[in-house]
C-alpha cells in the first residue's frame, strides 16, 4: 500500500513538473516579530491565485511556487506581508502585530468589515488578553481594557456576573446591559432563577470557556450598533470563537493550577482581635456607667443578669463581659480567617484544529475544558465541563457551510440562604473574637451573640445553595456565492439554557431553626431561537469605487419556563430534600415568551480609499408592545475622511502614517422596557391577571398589572466624532467624543386606587450621557530582541437626567434621582465630626450653612457628590526578550464616591452591644477632652444617632489596582525537538494583586462596588496566582 501511494505521488509530481517547469518547493517559518514565537494558522497564498496553505503549530509551512510568484502572508491582527519568491527556497517571515492596522477587520456580528472602511467606534480584545485572566467569567477580561466600558463586579465569587455600562447608563428602569452575540447569534446573558438578583447568582456567560474565544469586540456608537435596532441602546459585545485552519492537525494542551487568596484588606477595615476588642468593650462599659450610672446599659446587664455582682471598675466590667459571653478571655477567634481559606483553582484545556491544505477541504476546531474553583469563602465553589466543535467547508466556489456547537455543564455551591445577615462575611465582622467556633466538647458553638455560627452553617449538614446549569448552543450556517459579488448567507441559532437550583436554610442557623429547616427548589429553562438571512453585494470598480451593500431579515423567539417550590418543618436535620418537609410554604410556575421580527439594511461606500460613507436602517417588531406601537425604525449614518491619502499631506507621510476623521449619528432602541421596574416587563403593554388564589375555598384570580397599549420603545440617539492618528509606525492614537440622549424612558406612574393597583408604565423620562475616550498604543522599544509595547486607556462619562415622570425628585435615604443631576447622586446629612470636649457626634444643621448641631433630626440633607467616577482606564505594558515575556495591567479610577452602608454596622460604637467593630474605630475613637477625630466616644449600648446615615460613611472611590501580571517562557526549539514536541510555554499569571485606594476607604476593594456606589457586605475579590504550561503537539 505504501509503495502504491508513493508511485501515485511520484506520477502526480511528475505531472506537476511538466505543467509547471519553473515551480519549486518553498518552505519556512513564520514568527511574531515582537517575541520571536512561531505563529500557527498564518495564511500563505500565492498572489492572484487560490493556491495556498497555512502554517502549522510550529509556524512552519511548505508551498509550491515559481520564482516570479509573490507569497502573501496574512493573519488577523498582524500586518500583511508580501514576499517575492525569486531564487529562494527558504523564506522565513516575521509578522508585525498592529492593533491599529488599517487592514484589520471589525467583527460586527452580521459580518466582517475592513477596519479602514469602518466609520464607527469599536474596540477589540484578543485571545491572549482573554486567556491571561483567571476568572471563570470571560467577560471580566474586558475590565479596564476597553475605553468607555465601565464594569462593576460586586461579588468576587467564582463566575459572578458583571454589570457593564458602555458609554454610561442609558435607562433608569429598563434593561441596561449590552446585547451579547456569539458567532453571529444573540444569546442569553442575564442571570436567572431563584437568586438572579442576589450575590449568589452566576453569570450564564460563565458557561463559555475563555480558551475558546478568538476575540471580543465592543460596538459602541450608532454606526456600529443601530443595525441591531431594538436591542442595541446599551451597546453590543460580539464574541468570536476559534475556528479551524487549513493545514495539518494541531493539538494544544494547557494546564493551569493556582491558588485563591484573601485580598489586601486595609488595616482600618480589619475586625478587632481579642485584646483590642476587650479593651474597647471595657472602655464602652465604663463610659456608659460614667454617663448614665444605674440607669445605663452596663448597670442593666450587671443588675438584671448578674444581680449586681460585679464592681464598676475596668476589671469588674471585663469579668462581667467574660461571664456574659461565657468565656475565660483566652480565646482569640479570627472569624474572617475561619470563614475563608486558601482556595484552589485548576483548569485543563485540550484543543485540536486543522483541515486540508486545499480551499475545498473541511476545517475544524474542537476543544474540551474542565474548570474547578474551590473558592476563597468556605462552602462556595464552581465546577465546569465544556466542549466546543466548530466546523466549516467550502466544497466549491459556489457554496460553503458549517456550524458551531457548544455544550457545557456547570455546578455551583454558593453556600447559604437567609439574606445578608446569614452571609459568612457579614458574621465574620459581627461575631466577638472571645467566642470559640466549637465548645469544649468539640461541638459547634451556637452560644454566639446572635445565634449564628458561620463556620457551622457551611458544614456538611449546614446551608445549601446549589445550582446546576446545562447549556447547549448550536449555530449552523450556509453561504451561497451566486456570483463573486453577490453572496447569500443563512444562519440559525439555538441557545438552550436549563438551570436547576436547590436551597436549604438549615437547623444550624436561627432563621432555619425557627422553621425546622426551609427548603427551596427551582427550575428555569430558556430557549432562544433566531433565524437570520442576509444578501450582500460587494463590488469594486478599478479600486476607485468600493461598494458593500447588505439587506437582511431576522426572526427571534424566546421561551422561558419557571417553577418554584418551598417547604419547611423537616423531621430531621439531615433530610433536606423539599419532599421531606411537612409544611409547603410556596409554590409557583410561570411561562413567558416573546418574539422579535426584523428587516435591516447596511451599506458602505468609499471613493479611492479616502472618503468613506455608511448607512444602516432597521425595522423591528416586538410582541412586548401593543399593536399600534409594535414596530419601530432605527437608523444611522457615518462618514470617514483619511486625510493622509491627500496629495497635500505627502510632506508629512514620512512620519505621520495615518490621520483620519470620522463621525456618526443614529438611533437604537431598548425593548427591555420595565424589566427592572416591575415583574412583567415582557408583557408591559397588557393587562395581566394572576390565578391560583384561594377565595373561600374556591379558585380565584386577581388583577395584577395595569397594561399600557400605548407603551413604546425607549430610544437612544447617538452622536460620535473621532480622530485616529499614527506616527512613525510606532505610536497610534484614538480619540472619541460621544453624546447620547435617551427619550421615552419607562416610569411607573401612580394610578387611581379604584383600579386595585398602584402604577402603570408610561414613556416619560429623558436621560443624556456624554463623554470622551482616549487610547494610545506605543511600541516603546525595539532593541536587540527586546520589545516593549505600552497602552494607555482613559475615558470620561457624564450623565444627566433631563426629565422624570413628575417634577418631584425620587429621593431615597442617601440618594436622589432628580432632573439636572447625575443618576447616582448622593444626598444625605453632612457629618461634622466629633465634639472635642464630649466625644459626641455632630452634623451640619439644615440644608445650607456651617452651623453645627448634635441633634441628628435638625440636620438637613445636602448634595454631597455622586458615585460616577470622573475618569477610568488602564495602563497595559507588554515586554518580551527572546523566549521570555512579561506583561502587566494597572486599572485606575479617579473621582466618584462610595457610601459604606455596611459600615453603619461594622463601625458600631457600642450601639450593637458586644458585637465586634473595626480597627478604624479602635484607632480613631474619641477618648479624652481635646481629641479631634471623626469617631465618637465608644459607649456600650450607645443610643445616639452616630451610626445613622450621614457622610461619616461616605468615602473617596479613587483607586489604582494591579489587575493582572503575567510572566512566561517559551522553550527553545532545540529543547522541544528533543522532547518531540511542537512547542512548549510555561507561565505564571496573577490577578488582583494589590489595590492602592483612598486613605479614607474602608472595605475590601473600591473596584468591587456596584455602579450606585453603595458598599454592602460584598464577597471580597480574591488574589489569584496561577501556574501553567501550554504544550503543542
User: 736-782: per-residue pLDDT in tens?
Assistant: 999 999 998 888 777 777 767 777 778 888 999 999 999 999 999 98
Distances in Å between the Cα of 668 and the Cα atoms of 508, 663, 812, 953 are 51, 16, 31, 39
Angle (CA) 981-987-988 rounded to 5° is 160
The three cell numbers locating residue 936:
465618637
Strands 464-483 and 399-413: antiparallel
Q: Residues of the chain with pLDDT > 70: what percent?
A: 92
Q: Are residues 1021 and 925 in the same domain?
A: no
Strands 698-705 and 688-695: antiparallel
Strand, coil or helix: what is 794? strand
pLDDT in the model for residue 924: 97
Radius of gyration from C-alpha coordinates of the chain: 32
**Measured between alpha carbons, how far is 306 from 309 in angstroms, rounded to an integer?**
6
pLDDT digits (tens, 9 = 90+) for 630-647: 898 999 999 999 998 888
**Measured between alpha carbons, how far is 83 from 129 in angstroms, rounded to an integer?**
30
The structural domain count of the chain equals 4
Could you tell me if residue 453 is inside a domain? yes
The three cell numbers locating residue 275:
485584646
Grid cell 451556637 in the structure block, residue: 446
pLDDT in the model for residue 17: 41
Which of these ranges, 143-157, 695-709, 819-833, has the smallest mean pLDDT? 695-709
Mean pLDDT on 301-330: 91
Buried b vs exposed e over 328-363: b needs ≥16 C-beta within 10 Å? eeeeebebbebbbbebebebebbbbbbbeeebeeeb
CB of 205 closer than 8 Å to CB of 645: no
Is pLDDT of 306 > 80? yes
pLDDT in the model for residue 578: 86
Mean pLDDT on 981-989: 91
Q: Are residues 200 and 326 in the same domain?
A: no
Query: Among 923, 902, 892, 875, which Cα is nearest to 996's?
Result: 892
Is pLDDT of 843 > 90? yes
pLDDT in the model for residue 12: 36
Q: Are residues 650 and 793 in the same domain?
A: yes
Containing 223, the helix (H) or strand (E) segment is helix 222-225
Under the banding of pLDDT at 50, 70 and 90, the label for residue 196 is low
pLDDT digits (tens, 9 = 90+) for 274-288: 999 999 999 999 999
End-to-end CA distance of the chain: 27
pLDDT in the model for residue 399: 92
pTM: 0.85
The residue ranges of DSSP E strands in 457-485, in sequence order, are 464-483
Q: What is the DSSP letter of 208?
A: S
Under the banding of pLDDT at 50, 70 and 90, the label for residue 52 is confident
**Measured between alpha carbons, how far is 818 from 826 in angstroms, rounded to an integer?**
11
**Measured between alpha carbons, how far is 848 from 831 in angstroms, rounded to an integer?**
13
CB of 95 closer than 8 Å to CB of 42: yes
**Measured between alpha carbons, how far is 854 from 852 in angstroms, rounded to an integer?**
7
The three cell numbers locating residue 135:
476568572
**Measured between alpha carbons, how far is 347 from 452 in angstroms, rounded to an integer?**
35
CB of 615 closer than 8 Å to CB of 635: yes
pLDDT in the model for residue 853: 96
Q: Are residues 890 and 913 in the same domain?
A: no
Under the banding of pLDDT at 50, 70 and 90, the label for residue 194 is low
**Measured between alpha carbons, how far is 324 from 341 in angstroms, rounded to an integer?**
30
Q: In terms of C-beta density within 10 A (0-12 exposed, 13-18 middle, 19 or more buried), how is residue 7 classed?
A: exposed
Buried b vs exposed e over 286-296: b needs ≥16 C-beta within 10 Å? bbbbeebeeeb
Buried b vs exposed e over 500-527: b needs ≥16 C-beta within 10 Å? bbbbbbbbbbebbeebbbbbbbbbbbbb
Of 893, 916, 946, the residue at which a domain comes to its end is 946
The residue ranges of DSSP E strands in 356-439, in sequence order, are 363-374, 381-393, 399-413
Neighbours of 565 (CB within 10 A): 18
Q: Are residues 468 and 536 in the same domain?
A: yes
Q: Are residues 987 and 887 in the same domain?
A: yes
Strands 24-32 and 93-95: parallel
pLDDT in the model for residue 829: 97
Q: Are residues 758 and 882 in the same domain?
A: yes
Query: How confident is the prediction for the chain on average, in pLDDT?
Result: 86
**Measured between alpha carbons, how far is 780 from 425 in angstroms, rounded to an integer?**
45
Q: What is the DSSP letter of 845?
A: B
Question: Domain holding 246: CATH number?
Answer: 2.170.130.10
CB of 61 closer than 8 Å to CB of 93: no
Distances in Å between the Cα of 24 and the Cα atoms of 6, 51, 68 are 19, 14, 11
**Measured between alpha carbons, how far is 256 from 986 in angstroms, rounded to an integer?**
10
The residue ranges of DSSP E strands in 830-870, in sequence order, are 831-834, 841-844, 852-853, 861-866
Computed from CA positions of residues 21, 27, 33, 38, in that sequence, does the dihedral angle turn out positive or negative?
positive
pLDDT in the model for residue 13: 38
Q: What is the DSSP letter of 1?
A: -
pLDDT in the model for residue 292: 93
pLDDT in the model for residue 415: 66
DSSP notation for 760-820: EEEEEEEEEEEEEEEEEEEEEEEETTEEEEEEEEEEEEEEEEEE-SSSS-EE-SSEEE-TT
CB of 202 closer than 8 Å to CB of 412: yes
Angle, helices 314-325 vs 274-292, to 10°: value is 120
Is pLDDT of 105 > 70? no
Max avg pLDDT among 39-53, 189-203, 354-368, 426-440: 426-440
Which is more confident, 51 or 206? 206
Could you tell me if residue 269 is inside a domain? no
Which is more confident, 672 or 490? 490
Facing residues of 786 across strands? 783, 881
Distances in Å between the Cα of 489 and the Cα atoms of 217, 553, 601 are 21, 11, 14
Could you tell me if residue 264 is inside a domain? no
pLDDT in the model for residue 323: 92
Could you tell me if residue 90 is inside a domain? yes
Non-local CB neighbours of 253 within 8 Å, separated by 6+ positions? 348, 349, 350, 1030, 1031, 1033
pLDDT in the model for residue 109: 63
pLDDT digits (tens, 9 = 90+) for 693-730: 777 777 877 777 777 788 888 889 999 999 999 998 89
Q: Are residues 483 and 375 in the same domain?
A: yes
Structural domain boundaries enclosing 695 = 343-824+867-903+957-1032
**Measured between alpha carbons, how far is 336 from 446 in angstroms, rounded to an integer?**
17
Q: Are residues 402 and 284 in the same domain?
A: no
Mean pLDDT on 892-915: 93
**Measured between alpha carbons, how far is 825 from 1013 in angstroms, rounded to an integer?**
9
Is pLDDT of 475 > 90? yes
**Measured between alpha carbons, how far is 805 from 548 in angstroms, rounded to an integer?**
44
Could you tell me if residue 139 is inside a domain? yes
pLDDT in the model for residue 1016: 86
Distances in Å between the Cα of 486 and the Cα atoms of 229, 344, 480, 541, 547 are 25, 53, 9, 15, 12
**Measured between alpha carbons, how far is 48 from 104 in angstroms, rounded to an integer?**
20
Strand, coil or helix: what is 302? helix
The three cell numbers locating residue 323:
461571664
Question: Domain holding 52: CATH number?
Answer: 2.60.40.10
Q: What are phi and psi of 563, to 5 degrees?
A: -140, 145
CB of 787 closer than 8 Å to CB of 34: yes
Max avg pLDDT among 75-79, 100-104, 380-384: 380-384
Q: What is the DSSP letter of 648?
A: G
Under the banding of pLDDT at 50, 70 and 90, the label for residue 416 is low
Is pLDDT of 7 > 50? no
Angle (CA) 175-146-201 rounded to 5° is 45
Mean pLDDT on 858-870: 95
Could you tell me if residue 726 is inside a domain? yes
Containing 828, the helix (H) or strand (E) segment is strand 825-829
Q: What are phi and psi of 76, to 5 degrees?
A: -60, 130
Strands 871-881 and 786-803: antiparallel
Strand, coil or helix: what is 978? helix
**Measured between alpha carbons, how far is 83 from 64 in angstroms, rounded to an integer?**
14
Could you tell me if residue 424 is inside a domain? yes
Q: What is the DSSP letter of 645?
A: G
Is pLDDT of 463 > 80? yes
Could you tell me if residue 834 is inside a domain? no
Non-local CB neighbours of 648 within 8 Å, separated by 6+ positions? none
Q: Are residues 160 and 244 in the same domain?
A: yes
Query: Among 1025, 1032, 1031, 1033, which Cα is nearest to 346's?
Result: 1025
Strands 897-900 and 1014-1015: parallel
Under the banding of pLDDT at 50, 70 and 90, the label for residue 334 is very high
Q: Are residues 110 and 31 in the same domain?
A: no
Is pLDDT of 417 > 80? no
pLDDT digits (tens, 9 = 90+) for 118-132: 788 888 888 878 877
Question: Domain holding 474: CATH number?
Answer: 2.40.170.20
**Measured between alpha carbons, how far is 80 from 1008 in angstroms, rounded to an integer?**
41
Q: In terms of C-beta density within 10 A (0-12 exposed, 13-18 middle, 19 or more buried), how is residue 238 classed?
A: buried
The three cell numbers locating residue 945:
444617632
Q: Are residues 654 and 614 in the same domain?
A: yes
Strand, coil or helix: what is 755? helix
Amino acid at each position: 500500500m505504501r509503495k502504491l501511494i508513493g508511485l501515485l505521488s511520484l506520477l502526480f509530481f511528475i505531472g506537476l513538473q511538466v505543467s509547471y517547469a519553473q515551480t519549486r518547493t518553498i518552505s519556512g517559518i513564520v514568527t511574531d516579530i515582537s517575541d520571536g514565537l512561531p505563529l500557527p494558522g498564518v495564511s500563505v497564498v500565492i498572489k492572484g491565485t487560490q493556491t495556498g496553505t497555512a502554517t502549522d503549530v510550529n509556524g512552519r509551512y511548505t508551498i509550491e511556487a515559481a520564482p516570479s510568484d509573490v507569497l502573501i502572508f496574512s493573519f488577523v491582527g498582524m500586518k500583511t506581508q508580501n514576499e517575492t519568491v525569486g531564487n529562494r527556497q527558504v523564506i522565513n517571515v516575521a509578522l508585525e502585530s498592529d492593533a491599529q492596522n488599517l487592514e484589520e477587520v471589525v467583527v460586527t456580528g452580521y459580518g466582517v468589515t475592513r477596519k479602514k472602511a469602518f466609520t464607527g467606534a469599536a474596540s477589540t480584545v484578543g485571545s491572549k488578553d482573554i486567556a491571561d485572566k483567571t476568572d471563570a467569567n470571560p467577560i471580566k477580561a474586558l475590565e479596564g481594557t476597553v475605553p468607555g466600558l465601565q464594569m462593576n463586579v460586586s461579588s468576587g465569587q467564582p463566575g459572578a456576573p458583571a454589570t457593564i455600562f458602555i458609554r454610561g447608563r442609558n435607562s433608569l428602569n429598563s434593561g441596561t446591559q449590552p446585547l451579547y452575540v456569539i458567532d453571529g447569534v444573540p444569546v442569553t446573558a442575564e442571570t436567572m432563577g431563584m437568586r438572579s438578583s442576589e450575590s449568589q447568582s452566576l453569570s450564564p456567560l460563565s458557561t463559555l470557556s475563555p480558551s475558546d474565544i478568538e476575540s471580543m469586540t465592543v460596538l459602541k456608537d450608532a454606526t456600529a450598533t443601530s443595525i441591531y435596532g431594538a436591542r442595541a441602546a446599551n451597546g453590543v459585545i460580539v464574541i468570536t470563537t476559534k475556528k479551524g485552519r487549513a493545514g495539518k492537525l494541531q493539538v494544544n494542551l494547557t494546564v493551569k493550577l493556582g491558588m485563591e487568596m484573601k485580598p489586601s484588606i486595609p488595616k482600618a477595615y480589619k475586625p478587632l482581635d481579642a485584646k483590642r476588642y476587650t479593651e474597647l468593650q471595657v472602655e464602652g462599659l465604663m463610659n456608659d456607667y460614667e454617663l448614665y450610672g444605674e440607669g445605663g446599659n452596663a448597670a442593666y446587664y450587671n443588675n438584671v443578669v448578674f444581680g449586681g455582682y460585679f464592681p464598676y471598675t475596668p476589671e469588674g466590667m471585663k469579668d462581667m463581659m467574660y461571664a456574659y459571653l461565657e468565656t475565660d478571655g483566652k480565646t482569640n477567634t479570627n472569624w474572617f480567617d475561619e470563614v475563608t481559606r486558601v482556595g484552589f483553582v485548576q483548569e485543563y484545556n485540550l484543543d485540536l484544529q486543522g483541515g486540508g491544505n486545499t480551499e475545498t477541504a473541511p476545517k475544524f476546531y474542537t476543544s474540551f475544558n474542565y474548570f474547578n474553583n474551590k473558592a476563597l469563602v468556605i462552602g462556595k465553589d464552581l465546577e465546569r465541563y465544556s466542549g466546543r466543535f466548530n466546523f466549516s467547508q467550502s466544497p466549491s466556489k459556489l457554496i460553503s457551510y458549517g456550524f458551531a456547537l457548544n455544550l457545557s455543564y456547570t455546578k455551583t455551591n454558593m453556600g447559604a440562604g437567609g439574606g445578608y445577615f446569614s452571609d459568612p462575611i457579614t458574621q465574620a465582622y459581627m461575631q466577638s473574637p472571645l467566642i470559640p467556633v466549637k465548645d469544649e466538647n468539640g461541638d459547634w458553638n451556637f452560644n454566639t451573640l446572635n445565634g449564628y455560627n458561620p463556620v457551622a452553617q457551611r458544614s456538611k449538614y449546614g446551608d445549601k445553595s446549589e445550582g446546576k446549569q446545562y447549556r447547549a448552543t448550536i449555530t449552523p450556517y450556509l453561504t451561497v456565492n451566486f456570483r463573486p459579488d453577490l453572496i447569500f448567507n443563512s444562519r440559525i441559532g439555538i441557545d438552550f439554557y436549563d438551570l436547576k437550583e436547590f436551597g436549604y436554610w438549615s437547623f444550624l442557623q436561627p432563621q432555619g431553626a425557627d422553621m425546622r429547616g426551609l427548603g427551596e427548589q427551582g427550575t428555569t429553562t430558556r430557549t432562544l431561537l433566531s433565524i437570520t438571512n442576509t444578501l450582500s453585494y460587494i463590488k469594486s470598480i478599478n479600486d476607485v469605487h468600493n461598494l458593500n451593500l447588505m439587506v437582511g431579515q431576522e426572526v427571534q423567539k424566546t421561551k422561558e419556563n419557571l417553577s418554584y417550590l418551598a417547604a419547611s418543618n423537616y423531621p430531621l436535620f439531615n433530610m433536606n430534600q423539599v419532599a421531606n418537609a411537612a409544611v409547603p410554604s410556596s409554590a409557583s410556575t410561570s411561562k413567558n415568551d416573546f418574539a422579535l421580527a426584523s428587516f435591516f439594511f447596511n451599506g458602505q461606500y468609499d471613493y479611492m480609499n479616502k472618503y468613506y460613507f455608511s448607512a444602516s436602517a432597521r425595522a423591528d417588531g416586538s410582541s412586548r408592545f401593543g399593536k399600534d406601537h409594535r414596530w419601530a425604525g432605527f437608523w444611522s449614518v457615518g462618514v470617514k475622511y483619511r486625510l493622509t491619502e491627500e496629495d497635500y499631506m505627502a510632506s508629512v507621510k514620512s512620519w505621520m502614517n495615518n490621520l483620519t476623521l470620522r463621525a456618526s449619528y443614529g438611533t437604537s432602541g431598548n425593548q427591555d422596557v420595565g424589566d427592572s421596574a416591575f415583574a412583567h416587563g415582557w408583557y408591559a403593554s397588557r393587562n395581566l391577571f394572576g390565578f391560583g388564589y384561594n377565595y373561600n375555598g374556591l379558585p380565584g384570580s386577581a388583577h395584577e398589572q395595569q397594561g399600557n397599549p400605548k407603551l413604546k420603545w425607549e430610544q437612544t440617539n447617538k452622536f460620535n466624532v473621532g480622530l485616529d492618528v499614527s506616527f512613525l509606525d510606532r505610536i497610534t492614537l484614538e480619540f472619541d467624543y460621544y453624546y447620547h440622549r435617551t427619550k421615552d424612558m419607562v416610569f411607573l406612574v401612580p394610578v387611581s386606587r379604584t383600579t386595585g393597583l398602584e402604577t402603570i408604565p408610561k414613556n416619560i423620562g429623558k436621560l443624556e450621557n456624554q463623554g470622551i475616550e482616549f487610547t494610545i498604543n506605543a511600541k516603546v522599544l525595539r532593541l536587540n530582541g527586546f520589545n516593549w509595547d505600552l497602552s494607555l486607556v482613559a475615558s470620561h462619562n457624564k450623565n444627566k437626567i433631563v426629565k422624570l415622570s413628575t417634577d418631584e425628585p425620587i429621593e431615597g435615604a442617601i440618594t436622589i434621582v432628580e432632573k439636572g443631576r447625575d443618576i447616582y447622586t448622593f444626598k444625605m446629612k453632612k457629618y461634622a465630626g466629633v465634639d472635642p470636649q464630649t466625644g459626641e457626634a455632630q452634623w451640619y444643621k439644615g440644608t445650607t450653612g456651617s452651623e453645627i448641631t448634635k441633634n441628628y433630626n435638625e440636620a438637613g440633607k445636602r448634595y454631597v457628590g455622586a458615585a460616577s467616577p470622573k475618569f477610568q482606564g488602564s495602563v497595559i505594558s507588554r515586554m518580551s526578550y527572546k523566549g521570555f515575556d512579561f506583561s502587566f495591567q494597572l486599572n485606575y479610577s479617579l473621582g466618584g464616591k462610595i457610601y459604606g452602608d455596611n459600615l453603619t454596622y461594622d463601625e458600631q460604637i457600642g450601639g450593637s452591644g458586644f458585637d465586634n467593630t473595626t480597627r478604624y474605630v479602635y484607632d480613631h475613637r474619641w477618648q479624652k477632652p481635646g481629641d479631634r477625630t471623626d469617631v465618637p466616644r465608644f459607649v456600650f449600648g450607645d443610643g445616639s444617632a452616630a451610626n445613622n446615615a450621614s457622610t461619616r460613611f461616605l468615602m473617596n472611590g479613587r483607586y489604582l489596582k494591579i489587575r493582572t501580571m503575567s510572566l512566561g517562557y517559551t522553550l527553545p526549539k532545540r529543547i522541544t525537538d528533543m522532547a518531540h514536541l511542537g512547542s512548549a510555554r510555561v507561565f505564571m499569571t496573577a490577578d488582583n494583586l494589590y489595590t492602592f485606594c483612598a486613605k479614607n476607604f474602608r472595605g475590601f476593594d473600591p473596584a468591587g462596588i456596584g455602579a450606585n456606589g453603595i458598599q454592602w457586605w460584598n464577597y471580597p475579590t480574591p488574589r489569584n496566582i496561577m501556574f501553567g504550561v501550554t504544550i503543542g503537539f
